[in-house]
Every structure is written in structure tokens, then in C-alpha cells.
Amino acid sequence: MNLKIIISGGGTGGHIYPAIAIANAIKEINNEIEILFVGAEGRMEMEKVPEAGYEIIGLPISGIQRRLTLENLSFPIKLIKSLWKASTVISDFKPNAVVGVGGYASGPIMWRAQSRKIPTIIQEQNGYAGLTNKILGGRASKICVAYPDMGYYFPKDLIEFTGNPVRQDITDLSDKKEEGFKQWGFSSDRKVAFIFGGSLGALTLNESMANGVQKLLDQNIQVIWQTGKYYFEKYNQLFGNRKNEGLHVVPFVKDMANVYAISDVVVARAGALSISELCLAGLPTILVPSPNVAEDHQTKNANALVYVDAAILVKDVEARDVLIDEVLALANDDKKREELSTQILKLAKPNAAKDIAQNIITAAEAHYKRMN
């Protein structure tokens, strides 16, 4: 059975890395399956996917700006060209299933696949369904979601609660504690707070830390502060020579497992992949959703956890005034941290990539048998 699968979407790391994880899981189940990625020309998937060892074809599609711009005038032309190219890709590759991970790049190829009765599988990372996925959801074969109660956006009989694919080295952190404390030069008898806002950084989190990091140090709390590369130079100049006090200011953390292993309190934005990792790690978490994302979906991601007492939410507009006090309160409340850890672990889906991959393969096999 020579199965062929297209994985489409991208635009951000939040779409691309789950897509690659799903492709890897498909290959682990059946290495003979052919996989082709379809993305948007000029976007980061055109670089990241080949780096992961997969072929990718770019469509000339772009998103619609939420404000009136000249760029929106070219959208209909780009859409028509992308639909035409998507048809060509499907005719040439002859997929048995097409997967959409979100982002406008998945729209044309998924639409064409559905019009040809090829099974389509949607992977929705957020607690709020994206526009492309909502449009395509009604005709999908399966919709793999990362949050419960997504029936508001999709037909309930098509939904499967699989979780988001994330790195697997954070499923068991207990054996990484000793290495983590040694790596960061921290004392194991002092609490550790880890603050991160993504690879580029988050202005609100950085300004909140600048306002009150000394307060944390004065309370004997050790701090790992990931500024993001955009803000690192500024905050490293202001706070970077404090390692002897238990403060590390870094642009980016590569070895997240070791940091998670020693963290007592985590402060993060509410991106889908960050939340999925924190669920898997089972860490007491304060979420500060970014207000600068489509449809305010980070707040919806965070509320899905807050609703079941699995995280604490601090609004972006309030963070500069209250975030440090929230960190202190949680660091000093053993019972609350244990409660949050217990509840967030209940949302963990360690086999997400494999479960999604199996749904895709099952749909592809059914199509193959129907066509042969």
C-alpha cells in the first residue's frame, strides 16, 4: 500500500513545529509513506520544513490584513493562483489524505482536496478555532483538537481530543533535576521562577520583570528570565551580571527540559504549544495572554485552563503592576502549586503526535482501498 499524504499550513512556529512532529510520527508508524508539505511562499515553513528533511511546495497565498491596505487588493488574485496551483499539486502527487495544521496556506489545498473527495484532517492547536479551519471543518474527515469542548466550532461527531504534538523530552523530568540545578548553578533548597515570552520576547513580561525582579531575589527566589532575542541586549545590560544572586538573563533557552525540571513557578504567554508543554511537564503556571493575536485566541487558550483550576491568569494590561506579586504568592503557597500541578497534568496528552498520525493513516488507508 503506497500511501501519500500532504501536510499543509504554516506561517508561524505554532503551526510548523506540530506539522513536522506529525510527519515524524507518521514516518515512525510507516516509513514507506510519502509526505509532501504545502506552505506559503516566503514564509518560515519554506525554510524550516526542508531543514527537517521534507519536501515543500509554496503557494502564492497571503492572509487578509485586518485593516484596509493595498495588500488586500491583491488577495483575490493570489487566492485564484493558489487554488490553481493546489489543483496541480493534487493531480501530480495524488494524495490519499490532506492534513491542515492551520494558517492560510492550508486553505487552498484543503479546499481542493475536499472538492475531490480526498479525506482531510484538521489539527487545531488553539482553544479558539482559526478562520481557515472553521471554514473547512464541516467537510473534514476528522478534526484533532488540543482542548476539550470544541463543539462550538466544529461538528461534534468529527472531533477527537488528541492534544498538541510537543517535544517528548519533557514527559519525565524527575531525572533531570540534578542536571538542571548544576547547569544553572542554582541551589536545590531555593525556589526557581522561570519567565519566558517566546523566542522573540514579550515586552509586557520583560517590563514586568524589570519592575520587580529585585523583589523576587530579595525573597530568595532564583530566576531564569528569557527575554527573547529582540530584547536581550537591553535587559542584559541592566540585569545581566547577577548570577551570584540567582538571576540568569538569557535570550533563549534551548534545553527547556532541564529548566522545566527545576522550575517551581512558570510565567508564560498562552500560545498553544507553550501550554501543551506546560501541561505535559505539570508545572504551576501563570499565564499572561498576548492581546496582539488574532481573535484574542491566547486568552481563550488560557481560560480553558483557568476554568478547571489548572493555571492562573494575569491580564496583559495588569501585568506590570501585579505579576511579580502573583509569582511571589504562588512561590510561597505549596498547596496552591500542588493543586495547579495536579490539574494541569490532567490536560496532558503525551501521545498527541502518534494519535494524530494514526488518524491520518487510517483515513489515507480507507481512501487507498476505495480507489484501488
Q: Is 240 flagged in the annotation as binding? A: no
Is 199 flagged in the annotation as binding? yes
- What SS3 class is residue 123? strand
Give the CA distances from residue 45 to residues 25, 59, 60, in Å, rounded to whole numbers and listed in that order: 18, 11, 13
CA 26, 10, 153, 97 dihedral sign is negative
Grid cell locating 66: 485586518
Q: Quick one: cell of 252?
A: 533563549
Q: Is 298 annotated as a binding residue?
A: yes
Cβ-contact 75, 338 below 8 angstroms? no
| Dihedrals phi, psi of 193, to nearest 5 degrees | -110, 135
Q: Are 60 and 28 in contact (CB under 8 A)?
A: no
Cell numbers 542536571 correspond to 179
Cα(171)–Cα(349) distance, integer angstroms: 10
Cβ neighbours of residue 352 closer than 8 Å, sequence gap 6 or more: 146, 162, 163, 164, 165, 166, 276
9 among the known binding-site residues?
no
Q: Cell 499550513, residue?
A: 9
- What is the phi/psi pair of residue 94, to 5°? 55, 65
CA distance 96 to 168: 28
299: annotated binding-site residue? no
- The binding site comprises 12-14, 126, 167, 199, 298
- The binding site for UDP-N-acetyl-alpha-D-glucosamine comprises 12-14, 126, 167, 199, 298
